[in-house]
Amino acid sequence: MTPRANKTTIYDIATAMRISPSTVSIVLAGRWHNRRISEDTANRVLATAESMGYSVNLKARGLRLQQSGLAGMIIPHYRNRFFAGLAESFEIEARSRGLCPIVVSTQREAETEFSTATTLVAHQVEFLFVAGVNDPLKINKLCADAGIRSINIDLPGDEAPSVVSDNRDAARKLTDVMLDKMRSPNAASFKFFGGNAHDNATMERIAGVRDAFSARGYPLDDDVFDCCGYQPPIIAGVISGFLDREGDRMPEAIFANGITALEGLLEASASRDANALNRCIIGCYDWDPFAASLPLDITFVRQDVSALIHEGFRLLDDFTVGAYPTTRIPAQLRAGPASEDVLTR
């Protein structure tokens, strides 16, 4: 067949092949993998489309008739042990399957996340792991439209399988440890800093704190929680403002929602009473080996990054379009060397 003078349509291709226009449309949209369309039929549709002069950018549309051998992953950044550990575990699992891993950090910028996902899809990654993004739904749909499997890590989503830490349970256990250590446990001497109020991990951790207080019959007001983001300088500014209002009086217990929150706490306290932080009971939802060596009373939540990634690959192997479970992975408490060992749970 030779290219026609008029613009070729999917109906022309369907007529030439004696198949339905919907089959042609599905193949050209890159979604044939998820339908009952054979690779042979898809190849013939593409060959016919090309011979008839149908204009389609196969790479940009994510059509994958050949295996690329690329495994993609998006993470917010490499600054803390958790996301760096996720990236490392992902690379190990991908290489064990004979794939070349591509891991890209997006600095928690929504536009960067989506444009990065678009680029990875255009480069025909076999699948995409999506960790810690602002809007997993948008990226999951992008992948589905290109016939690419996606797995959400560290956040749940309705359009792809998800693997998350059991944030609520771990936060409850961490809060219990802190309350056990407090001389007079109550909300007035307890403070929570860090995270974003709208993200799932923070909401689950706040729920875990509330569970621990509620189980003991202690009231808990909303002003206990200051979800001031993930940037240490901003968190430090918020904590400094709090200490200024309180006359430099540290709360008896501080729940640092992530290593970045702990960094902010350390920065804010650097110019204060040197002993104030030494008297404080600290719970940190994240673990870092250097932070764990600090001479402070800190109990950490250590998330199981290897299990998160391993489960993600298991869900990838069992991937079924329309069946998108969420798996929760237990996290462990770790006490620092200066922390009284009360981890009996």
Numbered ranges of CATH 3.40.50.2300 in the chain: 70-160, 167-304
DSSP helix/strand/coil, 316: helix
CATH of domain 167-304: 3.40.50.2300
Angle in degrees, CA 324, 330, 333, rounded to 5? 155
Return the minimum-mean-pLDDT range out of 30-39, 72-81, 297-306: 30-39
CATH architecture label of 70-160: 3-Layer(aba) Sandwich (3.40)
In the β-sheet with 326-329, what is the strand arrangement from edge to edge? 100-105, 70-75, 127-131, 149-153, 162-165, 326-329
Return the minimum-mean-pLDDT range out of 42-46, 56-60, 133-137, 272-276: 56-60
Return the minimum-mean-pLDDT range out of 6-20, 204-218, 220-234, 309-323: 6-20
CA-CA distance, 338 to 295, in Å (whole number)? 5
- pLDDT tens digit sequence for 163-197: 999 999 999 999 999 999 999 888 889 999 999 99
pTM of this prediction?
0.78
CA-CA distance, 162 to 193, in Å (whole number)? 26
